[in-house]
Amino acid sequence: MKMPLTFMLNNQQTTLEVDARQTLLEVLRNQGGMTSVHRSCEEGECGACTVLLNEEPVNACLVLAASVQGASVLTSEGLVKNGKPHPLMKAFTDELGIQCGFCTPGMLMNAYALINRAGDNLLTDQVIRKTLEGNLCRCTGYVNIIKSVQTAQKAKLAGEWW
């Protein structure tokens, strides 16, 4: 069954014609053009499709698209401002928290929510690890990902953030 779906996608009001059975992952990739939302396990285990739904990280493969009517969805494309990488993205590039790049967009979104939640509290290694537990990475061994998140938080505390 086709239905219209209106929601905020990366801060833009968006209306798409979707199938009621489609997941948010399918809609974001196929209709929304947000190909940074990566498809892997399709069962909420790998975290590659993590996006923010009303500022909370969710696995887009486990969310029915129809349920985001009126909500706000942020993907990593939405972090880019005027073609410039977000300071969080810059941190991942600088610290090489990215290797093959497949888990990265999901990792970014979870880390973005974490850093925003943390406020002025410096994120410890342990907190970052626990938070990113649901985002699997097979390349980096996570060491540089943890560093990237810490570097990004410093950027936020220095006022470079959006």
Partner 1 sequence: MKKREERLILGKGQYADDLAFFNMAHLVFVGSPHAHARIVSIDTKKALALPGVITVITGKEVAAHTRPLPVQANFTSKGWTWRLADVYAIPADKVRWHGEPVAAVVAEDEETARKAADLVDVAYEILPLAGDLRTALAPGAPKVYDDWEDNKQVHLVFDFGDSEKAFAMADQVLQVTNREGRVTGVPIEPRGCVGMYDTKNDTLEMWGSFQTPFLSRHNIAATLGVPEAKVKINAVDIGGAFGLKIHAWKENVVALASKLTGRAVKWMEPHRDFMATGPHQRDVFWDGTIAFKNDGTLLGLKATVFHDLGVESTNKGIAALSIFPACSSPTNMYKWVGMHVEGIGTVTNKSFYCAYRGYGKDKGIKFIEAAINQVAKKLNMTPEAIRMKNFIQPDEFPYHQINNYVLDSGDYPAVLNKAMEMADLDFYRKRKKELTGQDRYLGIGLVTAIEPAGVAVPNCQMGGITEARVLITPDGSVEVHSDRTEIGQGAEISHATIVADILGMDMAHIHVKRVTSDFIGQGPLSSRGAVYPASAVAKAAKLLRKKVVQCAGSLMKIPADQVVLEKGYIYPANAPEKKISYAQFADKMFFFPGPRGLDPEILKAHDHLLDVTTTWYSPTTPESGSSYTSFCVSADIAVVEVDIDTGVTQIVKYVHVHDAGTIINAQVVDGQIQGGIVQGIGEALYESLNYDENGQLMNTSFSNYLIPTAVEAPDIEIAHLETPSPFSETGSKGMGEAPIIGAKAVILDAIEDALSDFSIRVNDAPATPEKVRKWIRQATEKKPVIS
| Residues in contact with partner 1 by the rule CB under 8 A | 29, 34-36, 38-43, 45-46, 48, 75-77, 80, 83, 85, 89, 92-93, 96, 98-105, 108, 125, 128-130, 132-146
Using alpha carbons, select from 45, 47, 48, 23 the residue that is nearest to residue 35: 48
Which CB sits closer to partner 1, 135 or 151?
135
- Judged on CB neighbours under 10 Å (0-12, 13-18, 19+), 20 is exposed
CB of 72 to partner 1, least distance (A): 18
What CA dihedral angle connects 159, 112, 103 and 130, to 10 degrees? 120
Distance (Å, whole) CA 68 – CA 19: 13
Question: Minimum CB separation from partner 1 for residue 58, in Å?
Answer: 17
Least spacing, CB of residue 75 vs partner 1, in Å: 8
Nearer to partner 1, 130 or 154 (CB): 130
The answer to whether 106 and 133 are in contact (CB under 8 A) is: no
DSSP H or E segment with residue 111: helix 104-118
Q: Which is nearer to partner 1, 71 or 77 (CB)?
A: 77
Residue closer to partner 1, measured from CB, 102 or 161: 102
Least distance to partner 1, CB of residue 139, Å: 5
